[in-house]
């Protein structure tokens, strides 16, 4: 298959390119980082890039939490306008297969259970609670501390920041494209992706990258809140393999199918910091109690559907993946 990989010069996209090549496909990189003319928002350039293409793997996006709302227009432009231009060009070119880089952020706080009220959906946490070190969301009905559960693909969407909103809109745009063109659209809702070539600590980078950079400077990784917030850290090679699997699999035409893409093994951010620090040889992480507005407490998805329906299975374990990541930091890779 000849596959246009938007964002193919990025962290995840570059691994998708490698994985496609390893599977005998022909990836075509489309990324402004590599070529300033290769912007997904440019209809003429996109149309040209789609010539002879069998499928599109859409990774290009502006990522991270950003600075609140000042950069909202840039997120919407790159992520949603960019996706709309791409989809219109695909419809015109007759390209019927799309795999989209989705995200767990579309779920917001995810799934929680109250011992008395069952499954509930807590709203954003109060600043007063966060300032007082009360990090666990409380039951919106009775205020009892909640226990986090695994979020399935059918959970209601609840984007809590600009980036999350644009990632959700991408899916809706792709679903509309699929309906109109009878196209096959898959959204792989990635968990926290980490591994080689992860961007360095910019305001847009992931937490594993911040910790690794701190360790490389000889400083303790600074763990926000109480360190017990749960995430699913999935290795970038496993995410790349999921993309190849989804590109190769025929999915239902005329619809978007969403798959949570995680390791299936939730860990706390504190555990991740300790694993990296141990592999690096110290210093030990520091739990600071700081917080970022817009961060959610726990996000752990159930990735069973991707395993059951497409036969994907993550290969890189947590300890092994984190150790490799920490060592790559030392080498400056």
Ligand X SMILES: NC(=O)c1ccc[n+]([C@@H]2O[C@H](COP(=O)([O-])OP(=O)(O)OC[C@H]3O[C@@H](n4cnc5c(N)ncnc54)[C@H](O)[C@@H]3O)[C@@H](O)[C@H]2O)c1
Name which of residues 198 to 227 contact ligand X (CB under 6 A). 199, 206
Cβ at position 104, least distance to ligand X in Å: 7
User: Candidates 65-73, 113-121, 249-257, 275-283 — which segment interacts with Zn ion by CB under 5 A?
Assistant: 113-121
Q: Among 88, 138, 94, 86, which Cα is nearest to 113's?
A: 138
Q: What is the DSSP string of 135-165?
A: -S-B-TTT-PBPEE-PBPTTSPP---SHHHH
Strand partners, 190: 103, 261
Q: Give the separation between CA 159 and CA 273, rounded to whole angstroms.
A: 26
Residue 101 near ligand X by CB under 6 A: yes
Q: Is 107 a catalytic residue?
A: no
* Element containing residue 84 per DSSP (H, E): helix 82-93
Cβ at position 142, least distance to Zn ion in Å: 3
Q: Which is nearer to ligand X, 130 or 314 (CB)?
A: 314
Residues that contact Zn ion, how many (by CB under 5 A)? 7
Name which of residues 42 to 81 contact ligand X (CB under 6 A). 59-63, 78
Diameter of the chain measured on Cα atoms: 58
Residue 73 Cα distances to 55, 78, 206, 209, 302, angstroms? 28, 9, 21, 26, 32
Cβ at position 110, least distance to Zn ion in Å: 16
Q: Which is nearer to Zn ion, 105 or 120 (CB)?
A: 120
Q: Which residue has the tokens 């070190």?
A: 133
Residue 258 near ligand X by CB under 6 A: no
Residue selected from 41, 48, 222, 230 as contacting ligand X according to rule CB under 6 A: 41
Residue 239 Cα distances to 137, 142, 194, angstroms? 29, 39, 10
SS3 (DSSP) at 110: coil
Residue selected from 3, 4, 6, 57 as contacting ligand X according to rule CB under 6 A: 6
Q: What is the DSSP string of 267-280?
A: EEHHHHHHHHHHHH
Residue selected from 90, 178, 193, 244 as contacting ligand X according to rule CB under 6 A: 193
Q: How far is CA 53 from the centre of its chain?
A: 25
When computed from its CA atoms, the radius of gyration of the chain, rounded to whole angstroms, is 20
When CB distances are held under 5 to 8 angstroms depending on the partner's kind, the choice from Zn ion, ligand X, none that residue 267 binds is none
**For helices 269-280 and 207-216, angle between their N-to-C axes, nearest 10 degrees:** 30
Residue 116 near Zn ion by CB under 5 A: yes
Residue 85 near ligand X by CB under 6 A: no
Residue 141 near Zn ion by CB under 5 A: yes
Q: Which of 75, 107, 163, 190 is catalytic?
A: 163
Active site residues: 163
Residues in contact with Zn ion by CB under 5 A are 114, 116-117, 139, 141-142, 144
Site residues, ligand X (CB under 6 A): 6-7, 9-13, 31-33, 38-41, 59-63, 78, 82, 101, 103, 167, 190, 192-193, 199, 206
């Amino acid at each position: 298959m000849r596959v246009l990989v938007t964002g193919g010069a990025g962290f995840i996209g570059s691994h998708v390119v490698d994985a496609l090549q390893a599977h005998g496909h022909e990836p075509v990189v489309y990324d402004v980082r590599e070529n300033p003319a290769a912007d997904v928002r440019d209809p003429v350039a996109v149309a040209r890039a789609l010539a002879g293409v069998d499928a599109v793997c859409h990774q290009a996006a502006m990522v991270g939490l950003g600075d609140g709302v000042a950069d909202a227009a840039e997120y919407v432009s790159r992520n949603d306008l960019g996706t709309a231009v791409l989809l219109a060009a695909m419809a015109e070119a007759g390209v019927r297969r799309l795999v989209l880089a989705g995200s767990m952020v579309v779920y917001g706080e995810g799934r929680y259970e109250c011992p008395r009220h069952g499954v509930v959906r807590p709203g954003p946490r109060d600043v007063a609670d966060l300032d007082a070190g009360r990090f666990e969301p409380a039951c919106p009905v009775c205020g009892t501390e909640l226990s986090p559960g695994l979020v399935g693909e059918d959970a209601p969407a609840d984007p809590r920041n600009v980036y999350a909103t644009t990632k959700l809109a991408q899916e809706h745009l792709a679903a509309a494209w699929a309906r109109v063109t009878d196209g096959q659209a898959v959204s792989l809702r990635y968990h926290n992706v980490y591994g080689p070539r992860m961007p360095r600590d910019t305001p847009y980078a992931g937490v594993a990258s911040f910790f690794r950079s701190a360790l490389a400077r000889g400083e303790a990784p600074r763990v926000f809140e109480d360190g017990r917030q749960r995430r699913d850290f999935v290795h970038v090679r496993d995410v790349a393999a999921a993309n190849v699997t989804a590109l190769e699999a025929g999915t239902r035409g005329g619809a978007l199918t969403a798959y949570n893409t995680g390791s299936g093994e939730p860990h706390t951010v504190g555990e991740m910091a300790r694993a990296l620090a141990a592999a690096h040889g110290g210093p030990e992480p520091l739990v600071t109690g700081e917080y970022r507005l817009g961060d959610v407490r726990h996000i752990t998805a159930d990735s069973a559907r991707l395993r059951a329906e497409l036969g994907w299975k993550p290969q890189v374990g947590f300890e092994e993946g984190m150790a490799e990541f920490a060592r790559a930091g030392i080498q400056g890779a």
